[in-house]
Amino acid sequence: MHPRSLLVLAVLLITAAFAAPTARAQDSLYTVPNVHVDAGGASSTEALNAAIAQGRSRAFQVLYRRLTRQADWARQPGLDAQALLRVSRGYTIANERRSTTRYVADVTYMFNPDGVARMLRAANIAFSQTTAKRILVIPMSPGFGRGPWAQSLMAPSFRDALVPFTVAGAESEAELAGLSFESAGWNDVAAAAARNRVTEVALVQAVYANGKMTVNIRRLGLGETPARVSVDVPMVQTVSTTYPAAAQAAVRAIEDLWKTRNSIDFSQRGRLIADVRIASLAQWGDLQGQLASVSNVTGMTVTAMTVSYARVVLTYIGGVEQLREAFAGAGLSLTNRGGQWTLARTGQ
C-alpha cells in the first residue's frame, strides 16, 4: 500500500478509536454493587424512593474512596440528592422485599464517569480513572512464609480489592526463602513475578514488637525505584487474632500506593512526541484501540508515517510518569532513550 494511502487510513482509524467510548473499562470502576437499602415511608412508593436515595449516597462514598487517595477522603464534596442524580447513570435491584410502608433490597448503582470527573475537577481533587493491573503479594513475617499471615491476606473479602493481587504460594517457596525485605530488588522476585504474569510485586511484612504490630510494604517494579510505606495496627489480643486487621490495613496501603502514582491532577497538562513501530495495519489499529482506553490521553496526531513506523504527538493530562503507568495498564510501554520517546505494545 502506498504510504500516503496508509496515512489516510491511519487518520481514519485514529478518529474512530478516540471517538469510541471506553465504557467497558470504566463501567466496573464506576459501578458500586450490592448496596443494602432498608427504608420506610408513608407509602410503598415513598419507601422505595427513600431507600434508593439513601443507598445512592452511600454508594457515592464507596466510589469516591475508590477513586481518591485516603488523604483526600475528608474532602469528599457534600452532594445533595439532586447533585447525586446528576452524576448517576441508574441502578439495578436484587433481593427486593416490600410492604405498604417499607422497602428492602440490594441495589447496584452506576455513576457517570464524565459527570464524576467534572465534579472532582471542580473541587480540585486528584483522582484515578484507570483500572489497576494484578500484582503479586509476597507475605513476610519477618521472612517469606505461608502461615497465618499469608492466610489472612488470602481472605475472600479481598477478592474484589481495588488493586487485584495474587499471594505467592508454595511454588515460589524455594526461591523466596532467603528474601530480605530491606534489600530485595526486582531480580530477587523476577522469577516469581514471571510465573504469575505480573510486572509489580508488593513485599508485605507483618512485624510484632513492643506491644504493637507494624505492617511494612515495599513495592517493586521492573526498572522502577522501590516505594515503601508502613502502617501501625492496634493489637487485637494476640498476634494471630490481629492478622486479619493487619491484612486489611495492608490492602488499603497497597491501594493508596497505587492511587498516589495514578491520581491525576487535571490542571497539569503535557505534550510529547513518540515513535511507534508498525508491523501491520491491523497491529496499528489494535494499538490505537489500546490508546483510546487510556483516559490520560486527550489527543493524538500523526505527523509522519511510513509502512514501518509512525511519529505521533500525544497530548495528555497529569504527569508523564502517570501517563506511563496508565499505558502499562493498557498493555503499552512508553520508553525514553536519549530524549526520544518510543511507544509500543508491551513485549514488543
Fold of 136-262: Rossmann fold (3.40.50)
Domain coordinates of the chain in residue numbers? 3-23+265-345, 30-122, 136-262
Helices (H), 20-155: 23-27, 44-67, 81-86, 113-122, 148-153
- Average pLDDT over every residue of 138-143: 93
Whether the pLDDT of residue 133 is over 80: the answer is yes
pLDDT score recorded for residue 35: 95
Whether the pLDDT of residue 267 is over 80: the answer is no
Helices (H), the chain: 3-19, 23-27, 44-67, 81-86, 113-122, 148-153, 173-176, 186-195, 239-262, 281-292, 320-329
Cα distances (angstroms) measured from residue 11 to each of 7, 137, 309, 312, 332? 6, 42, 14, 11, 20
pLDDT score recorded for residue 26: 57
- Average pLDDT over every residue of 283-304: 84
Q: Are strands 135-140 and 200-209 parallel, antiparallel or unpaired?
A: parallel
DSSP-based three-state secondary structure for 294: coil
Cα distances (angstroms) measured from residue 143 to each of 192, 205, 213? 16, 8, 15
- Chain mean pLDDT for the chain: 86
Residue of 220, 348, 244, 215 lying closest to 287 (CA atoms): 348
Whether the pLDDT of residue 219 is over 90: the answer is yes
Query: Which three three-digit cell numbers place residue 283?
Result: 497491529
- Average pLDDT over every residue of 33-48: 94
Fold of 3-23+265-345: Alpha-Beta Plaits (3.30.70)
Q: Are strands 102-111 and 31-40 parallel, antiparallel or unpaired?
A: antiparallel
Residue of 167, 217, 209, 213 lying closest to 192 (CA atoms): 167
- Average pLDDT over every residue of 201-209: 94
pTM: 0.66
Q: Do domains 3-23+265-345 and 136-262 have the same CATH topology?
A: no
pLDDT band at 159 (very low <50, low <70, confident <90, very high): confident
